[in-house]
Structure 1
Amino acid sequence: MNINFVSHLMLPTNGGWNRELVDYVCWPPTARAILAIPLPLQPGEDGFFWVATTDGRYSSKTGYQFICNERLANQASSSLGPSMSASLWNKLWRADAVSTCRETAWRACLDILPVRTELHRRGVAPDPSCPWCLDAPETVEHTLLYCPRLRPMWFASPLGLRFDVESSMQDFLAGFLVDVDFVAAGVLFATFYSVWQARKDFLFRSSSSTLEQILVRASRLRPSRVLAQPPTIPRAPLASSWRKPAICIFNLNFDAALTTSHEAGFGLIARDKEGEILAAATSILEPVLSPIMAEALCFRWALGLASELGFRRVCMETDCLGLFNYWRQREGASSHLETVVRDFRFMLSNFDVFDFSFVRKIGNAVADALAKLAFRLGSLVWIEESS
């Protein structure tokens, strides 16, 4: 088909991707990846950027983190197997527990805790036996669940667990997570962490914890205890609720929602200085590279719609702190966001007065609801007509 350049995959009229041509000449995964790359509304120079950072700058540290994250993702995807489905794996990470407890459960499920059987296999530990009971090999399942020393503790715990049949950690969690809520899962993972800490204290500090002490430590690791003191929240430039705009300035809130298939939904709500709704809109776009790119494309869509509706003095509000901070840099960067941000700055000539501010999620609730409705409603615009 004589396709030699990337520009041959673009439409000659508006510079967008020729979706039919891309789908025809590329395999579906490749076509989807190409269509997820946003194209600028205005022509600009090509450039290189590092996808693992917001500013597009590469460093050896971010390169190392990227490789580690890729390895962990591959391990997690290969560990799902028939026992631990993707939905249960997701439920593990959403359990009502602090991050260290969820990480312990995750490592136990992947069988990467440094128990004695694994250390003995690698020639590190001379004896693979459990240091508590000395009767069985110390596997992950034995250490956290089935050791005779721990069985009374599990029965006395809030979960009241009895182990009539021993199984692998993945099989146990697969059966446990199906029937419980996030709170019960959090109790289990906090107890896992407490047991593992007691085991380390016994080996390295010669400190023996009683079963009651293990349960007390687990109870203190529950989020209701840890989050008793609310975290410190910075004041400026955050706003906790919607604010009335200044005279003759229209307030436009926008937000993006993203599905697991990388389809983006956009929402926009426009109000006057009295808080009266002037317009609302929804739109959908697929595919999208990342959540922050979805927010950036939503910003560009909102600016274009505001210009079409005749708003010339506007204050745009977002709940995406990453996009807001990137905008405040006021410097061009070799980032995948810069292609879209350049369009923002070009479109500002359509407005007499422009302001951009950050608002907390609660202050952007209406735009967020519209973004989620976009997947059901499609692309729509509502205009409030004055009587």
Structure 2
Amino acid sequence: MTVNELLDQHSNSWNVNLVRQLFSDEDIELILNTKILPSRTDFRVWGCSKSGSYDSKSGYKLIETLNTVRTGNQVVLPPIEKQLWSNLWKAKTSPKLRHFLWRVLSGALAVKSQLQSRGIQLDPICPVCHQEPETICHMLFQCPSSREVWETSQFPLPPAGWSPNSVFLNLHYLISCSQKQSIGTSVRLSFPWVLWQIWKARNKFCFEQIIPVAGDIVFKAREETSIWLNLHGYLQKCSNVLPIAPSSERKWSSPPLSILKCNIGVSWSSASMYCGAGWIIRNSVGKVLLHSRRSFSGVRSPIQAGLLAITWATTSVKEHKLRNVQFEFSSSEAADALNNPLDFPLVYAECYKALGSVYSLPKSSIALVHGTCNKAASAIADSVISGQRFHSYVSSGGPRWLAMMLDEEATSS
């Protein structure tokens, strides 16, 4: 029915007899006292939300209210649980994923333990790890494949580990981290997509026998996170960062007195998705003080490889309590990303982390240099891929096999 059908067409007033036949006593007076605007066209309004439009949150709230009225039992949630439900519905993610979070907390995912509790006869053991019963908590947080995803995601892990049996505690931790401004935006707001991709990977394994790969799951979660956050304006430009301009130099030069120079090299294999990184620190007379080498796995682009190398090198220098350091690197792809992080949403988190690491070192700077100025560090990084030297190390002085190159650069400088 529409409002128009409740009116007396001759007088444009309420059809009192019809209203009294159709509505309950408590609503009759409210209707009859409502002012009629004949010029207005009837339209549908959902009365259980402020906007007048239906949404799943208000729908579930109505069902909950009706059930309470029917049973006469009103359950009062503790304040902390009320707050968690509220925060889930306000999570900065798509409506689909907010509904997914509601299903997670409500126990409405069709994992084996939930199906068994509804009378379905099946083996409750997790189909992925075959170690424990597949509960929602196990599938999203405790299964070895899920733990590997969280470790790869860069999301800060709970100091005491994930709760083995409380979805509430784990979601409460995720929500708390998502509100900490000290964590990069694209990392702290990524948890709904990480959970969603873990769930999708589990279903692909069950129905298509596709084995979950942590790197793939994290990449897809990060991709969807960055695209959505960038689209909705949540990724902000990094402020107070000087643009990284290319240098015109064509050979390595020693730094000024009391300044150290750290060259950063990187190599990447598209076939193995391994990245090799190396750094080497020299003083104003070209003497090598320290050098290091390491590898990264699951690296999907040369941009990501360059950013990982920069973050690792600058963090290592900081751990050695060095100051007044000039950093130099020769990855033009990484430089483009650092200068325009919002144009590279898939590596925004790495940009944020790299820039934060560089500028956390007192009186330090970073510059893009030609490859001929960065030969020693690049050679160290190349040795990781070409020689499959995947073990990390830090050593004083320079590598013996680069002694001639390092002497020549020090002498010419």
What's the TM-score once normalised by structure 1's chain length? 0.40
